[in-house]
Amino acid sequence: METAASVQGPRLTSALLELGSEQVSGLTRERLIRYGRERAAEGAGPATLAIDISFIGTVLTHAAALHGLQVNTDAVRLARVALRRMDALGRGLERDRRPTEAELETLFARFRSNRGTALPLATIVKFAIATAMRLDEIMRIEWKDLDPRTRTILVADRKDPRKKDGNDQRVPLLDVTGYDALEILEQHRKQVSDKGRCFPYNGRSVGTAFRRACEEAGIIDLHFHDLRHEGTSRLFEAGLTIEQVPLVTGHKDWKMLKRYTQLRPENLYATLAKRR
């Protein structure tokens, strides 16, 4: 008999393993609500639980449509409504964490003093802020796609919620965030091969090294992806418009950029001066 564990899904926890022993016909509204409460007790946040419930709904729809199993797909919809009313399910809070200048200087000093790694972490962090690129995008760009004359580089298959592949974008390498993106690349080219990827490193290793450096420096709750937020915010602080910023960041929806326009008060005068 097919069970709820027949299809691979979210990371297995006690609640998921218990749910996986249920027959598909046993995934009633009451059972799914109980599962939601158990997942919340395990520490799953509203956004994580929303993903779980959505996945279960996909499994049931797949079972009904492709395998002809008699399942109650309404159970997922009703459980979702109930869990949302309990505040157990919903969207995650948007992060607005930005590193301070003091935190960045602390990290750069630590990077310089750490002789035990071959990763050019300071260069990668500065480039991340200068371009607002995601870590996987930084690790993917290639020297052959760099055009110093136009100060641009091609980012292949950029993340796009509307399509998975083919979203290539030629990104300008600006000098408006406090770091010159093209200069960073040109200096980095002298240290590595000018063939293949510009940053021929493992992205997971870079993320781990960044997280470890933050922990050792006592910097709380700073993720590598927050550097994308920092870079995007600096673009606005430099005076770029909401039409211009997506040419750098790749955002497809201007609504997603609204939270980046909440600029630091101490930078407001300089921002206004640049727009005069």
228: annotated active-site residue: yes
Tokens of 128: 């991340």
Task: Note if 34 is an active site residue.
Answer: no
- 225 is a catalytic site residue: yes
Among the options 126, 140, 229, 251, which is catalytic? Answer: 251
Structure-derived torsion over alpha carbons of residues 69, 75, 79, 81, reported in degrees to the nearest 10: 120
Q: Choosing from 91, 149, 164, 276, which is the catalytic residue?
A: 164
Q: Is residue 260 annotated as part of the catalytic site, yes or no?
A: yes
Catalytic residue, candidates 134, 158, 229, 234: 134
Query: Any catalytic annotation for residue 134?
Result: yes
Encode burial over 7-18: b for 16+ CB neighbours within 10 A, e otherwise: eebeeeeebbee
Q: Which of 80, 98, 228, 229 is catalytic?
A: 228
Residue 4, helix vs strand vs coil: helix
SS3 content of the chain, % helix, strand, coil (to 5): 55, 5, 40
Provide the token pair at 192: 């590595």
What letters, b where the CB count within 10 A reaches 16 and e where it falls short, cover 85-102?
Answer: eeebbeeeeeeeebbeee
Report which residue type is found at 233: S
- Give the pairing of strands 152-155 and 146-147: antiparallel
Q: Is 62 assigned a catalytic role?
A: no
Give, in order, the Cα–Cα distances in Å from 250 to each of 128, 161, 167, 171, 241: 14, 11, 10, 8, 14
Give φ, ψ of 86 to 5 degrees: -85, 0
Say whether 112 sits in a helix, a strand or coil.
helix
Catalytic, out of 35, 140, 234, 260: 260
Question: What residues are labeled active site?
Answer: 134, 164, 225, 228, 251, 260
